[in-house]
Chain A
Amino acid sequence: MDMDTDLPGPDYIRVLAVLPKTGRPWLVDAAQALLEGRTWASEDLVEGLPEEFKLDQSFCSVALGPTAASEFNFDHDVDKVALASNLKPENSDYFVVRGFVKTSGPQLVPRNIDDLELYSDPSIYTLLTCGTDPAVGSVADVRNKLGAAKLAAQVPSLDGAGVAVAMVDSGIFLQHLTRVNILTGVNEALLMRPRPAYPLPPRPALDPALDANNSWTPPRVATPPGGHRVGHGTMCAYNALSIAPRARLFDYPSLIARAPGDHTVPGTVGAAMQAYAKLIAFWIDNLVMAGPYKALVVNNSWGIFHPCEEDVSPGQPGRFIDNPFHPFHVLVWVLAILGADIVFAAGNGGLPCPAPPFLHLTTGSIRGANAYREVLSVAGCDVNDSRVGYSSQGPAVAMFPLPTPDKPDLAAYTHFLGSQVFGEREPDSGTSTACAIAVGCVAALRSHPNISPAAVPPAALFATLRSTARQVGASGWNRDYGYGIIDPVAAARYWGVPIP
């Protein structure tokens, strides 16, 4: 039975492993296979792996650059050209693979096996709520409050044109957004009864909403880019386009990229790592070849519900939820340094009504990648500016030894009528929606030449968004709204866009 079919046994745990290339030339081909969308599998015994580590060949490998994750320096200034070069598989010295190690149960993964550093690969979930409260307002209110029409009316327009928005989510069903029948090509918006209540703003016929060529179909996923089951990913894509209607979507359905042999439904951090590796390669190509996109914004409406998903015990260095040296952080850091804007939902573990899968653990519910300092972590409020009761509150989990940033960074709107992917009158909810709305704001801003990533790096743009956010509650940062409610018009003015 090969590794593609089952776990080695109940005494094995799935892990990510960081390992040097020395003596393992196959790592380069495996990493290239991931980037090229090839299947990689070695018929022979893969060289250089300890017997206790069972390799998952379907994962391929991810190039990590010149240092191991545990030794990565997140504070150094970098030469971006060298950084991009080091991340190429053929130049990389360290790689990440996935496999299984023998342990006596969850949270007992060893730190090392020989020269392999082991890290947890927990399951990740969409950050939707089970909240039963009805919607408050609609996406029309959200657009009004954020000045979306005002942004789009500028010359040049701040509407997301030329900006790639990567949805690292559960996949997009494009027809729900465009209303164009994928079989006939006919726009059915006017034929539908009842008419779609909140259609997205129209876009030119020759400006497709999805870039299928630059999207990703994980192994074992049956549906193509833009053709996935309608649900969370479609909701998020809708909300990003509601503010930046001419942004172009990249479909990265990591949340349905189930690990082989795994008994769980969702994707894992490993699948997110694959997505980020591909996004880094895409973005480097776009920069080097002067490609068609002027910015890349990454939507991450996912997270970890509860520490029980961790396979590494507290205090151990291989953890994900509170360890800044997890290899996923390296990829996030690299992509941010290269100029991509990475936005995360804060989470739905706030008081007084945390989403049930948080199991009432509301302290430190902004955890893992959602708490990285390079990312914009977004809390949720309704269109009346009231924080939604499930939105995760700060402070985030401590990321020792790095300083713990103020999280959430800011808040954005959620719990309104919009995509209605979950049924008529069902709200778009959760900090998932707030994250996508914030992504729409960032994408709209990035379409203006004054605010290109070259002129305004992600860290500077996020600082502006924090400083221009509309304060609610206590001044400065507070645990509910962060620095306030996102205000893209104020941010655009800050960077010299003369919006009256």
Chain B
Amino acid sequence: MGGSWQGGSWQGGSWQGGSWEGGSGGTPTFAMRADKPLADFAVPRNVGAIYPDYPGRYWDPDLWALTVLSEFFGPALPGGYWQARIVLPGPPGLAATLVEIDRLLVLAVTERPDAMGEIIQQNQNFQVAWLQLLMIDPGTHPNTFLLMKLAARVGEVVMMHYKRIHHRTRPSQICPTLFPPVAVPGHASYPAGHGLLSQLTSIALMEIVPPNLHAALLELARIVGFNREIAGLHYESDTAAGVQVANQVLPILNDCPSYQLVKGRALTEW
């Protein structure tokens, strides 16, 4: 829980490809023997690397993406302060929540056995599914990849902001027999993070990829959000709320200079 909850290390975050494909994990180290250290050999200095020269491609996309936060949450956006531009109704009350719980129970017994593979695969770092769908990676489409990172960083903060406001109980707190097959995340239920980030990723990509891919992007977003309901982690209304917030986040993101810069470059990749 915490740590790399979502987006943190889903690719490019750490040394090589993060941990999303398994691998041995751990920090890569590079040895230099003590008796004949590499530093003992005289080589010409690489003067081309003199400051200031840190190429953009060297940047860790995760860390570069953090820089958009100060723009998004700052007071200087042309469209106004972000909070005033997002409307989210409160979560349903107890009676409606109990109806939603029953629906989740039905889903748990009808859909979960078939959905287990996707639920587990999408539990963390689910954005790799978007890379797979579009057949891209950080090497082929670095700016598209970076754009996804920008959306993820902003989405995460917005999501946590509203989760803290509403503090909605997780379904399995009310009905423990929903027994989610993956760990219940360490934050409140409303709005759904997977629903929000999935929708935001898809609609952000829809502004740069060809139209023939749009429907597939939306379907993928829908499936990822819905699988969290099948898993008993979210109510239907959480997912709908996530989608609603995502639709309001994108215009604000489009006001951010860093996002505009990356988007402009990403457009040239398609």
Contact = CB atoms under 8 A, between A and B. Distances in A.
A binds B: yes
A263 B236 contact: yes
A264 B203 CA distance: 20
Interface in A6-52: 6-12
Contacts of B201: none
A277 to B, nearest CB: 25
Contacts of A224: none
B106 A7 contact: no
Interface stretch (B2-10, B68-76, B89-97, B122-130): B89-97
Chain B residues touching A, range? 20 to 34
Interface stretch (B35-43, B57-65, B147-155, B239-247): B239-247
B137 interface: no
A125 B106 CA distance: 10
23 contacts: A1-B247, A5-B218, A6-B218, A6-B247, A9-B89, A9-B240, A104-B92, A104-B93, A104-B96, A105-B92, A105-B96, A106-B96, A125-B106, A130-B109, A263-B225, A263-B229, A263-B239, A264-B226, A265-B226, A308-B102, A309-B106, A357-B106, A359-B102
A479 interface: no
A263 B222 CA distance: 7
Contacts of A104: 92-93, 96
A104 B103 CA distance: 17
A250 interface: no
A107 interface: yes
A145 interface: no
Contacts of A265: 107, 111, 226
Interface string A281-313: 000000000000000000000000110110000
A356 interface: yes
B247 A107 contact: no
Contact of B96 (A5, A107, A125, A357): A107
A108 interface: yes
A360 B162 CA distance: 36
A356 B218 CA distance: 31
Interface in B102-123: 102-103, 105-107, 109-111
Most chain A beta-carbon neighbours within 10 Å: one of B109, B239, B240, B244 = B240
Of B89, B229, B237, most buried by chain A (CB within 10 Å of CB) is B237
Contacts of B96: 104-108
A104 B97 CA distance: 11
Contacts of B236: 263-264
Contact of B244 (A9, A305, A356, A359): A9
Contact of B100 (A11, A12, A106, A306): A106
Interface residues of A, number: 26
Contacts of B109: 130, 356-357
B203 A1 contact: yes
B105 A359 contact: yes
Closest 8 pairs between A and B when the two form their complex, measured CB to CB: A105-B96, A308-B102, A105-B92, A10-B240, A356-B109, A10-B241, A10-B237, A106-B99
A108 B109 CA distance: 26
Nearest to A125: B110
Contact of B106 (A5, A6, A359): A359
Indicate the member of A9, A10, A265 with the most B CB atoms within 10 Å.
A10
Nearest to B92: A105
A108 B97 CA distance: 12
A24 B89 CA distance: 32
- The residue in A107, A125, A265, A356 that gathers the most chain B C-beta atoms within 10 A of its C-beta is A265
B100 A263 contact: no
A108 B100 CA distance: 13
B11 interface: no
A264 B226 CA distance: 7
Most buried by B among A11, A107, A306: A11
By secondary structure, the A interface counts as: loop
Nearest to B102: A308
B168 to A, nearest CB: 11
Interface of A: 1, 5-12, 104-108, 125, 130, 263-265, 305-306, 308-309, 356-357, 359
Contact of A263 (B89, B93, B240): B240
Nearest to B113: A130
A297 B214 CA distance: 39
A101 to B, nearest CB: 14
A356 B109 CA distance: 6
Interface string B227-267: 00100000011111101100100000000000000000000
A105 B93 contact: yes
Given A106-B100, A265-B111, A6 B243 contact: yes
Contacts of A306: 102, 106
B99 A10 contact: no
Contacts of B92: 10, 104-106
Contacts of B100: 105-106
Contacts of B102: 306, 308, 359
B143 interface: no
Nearest to B202: A5
Contacts of B106: 125, 305-306, 308-309, 357, 359
B144 interface: no
Given A105-B100, A108-B96, A263-B239, 13 more contacts: A5-B218, A7-B244, A10-B241, A12-B240, A105-B237, A106-B96, A107-B95, A107-B96, A107-B99, A263-B240, A306-B102, A309-B103, A356-B109
